[in-house]
Amino acid sequence: MTTRGKIVLTILLLGVVGFGMYRWWDKIAPQTRPQSQPIDMAKIKQELQTAKNPPTDIPLLIGTNAASLVQRSGIPAVSNVSDYVKNMKDGKLIVEFPINV
Q: Which residues pair with 88 in a beta bridge?
A: 93
pTM above 0.85, yes or no: no
Per-residue burial over 12-51, b = 16 or more CB atoms within 10 Å of its CB, e = otherwise: eeeeeeeeeeeeeeeeeeeeeeeeeeeeeeeeeeeeeeee
Determine the pLDDT at residue 55.
65
Q: Which residues pair with 89 in a beta bridge?
A: 92
Q: With 80 as the cut, is the pLDDT of residue 89 above it?
A: yes
Residue 61: what pLDDT? 62
Considering only residues 30 and 55, tell me which one the structure prediction assigns the higher pLDDT. Answer: 30
CA dihedral 35, 41, 45, 46 (to 10 degrees): -100
In this prediction, residues 94-99 reach a mean pLDDT of 84
Task: Convert the pLDDT of each residue in 1-41 to its tens digit.
Answer: 788 989 999 999 999 999 998 998 888 777 777 677 788 88
What pLDDT is stored for residue 57 in this prediction?
64
Please compute the mean of the pLDDT values over residues 46-75 and round it to a whole number.
72
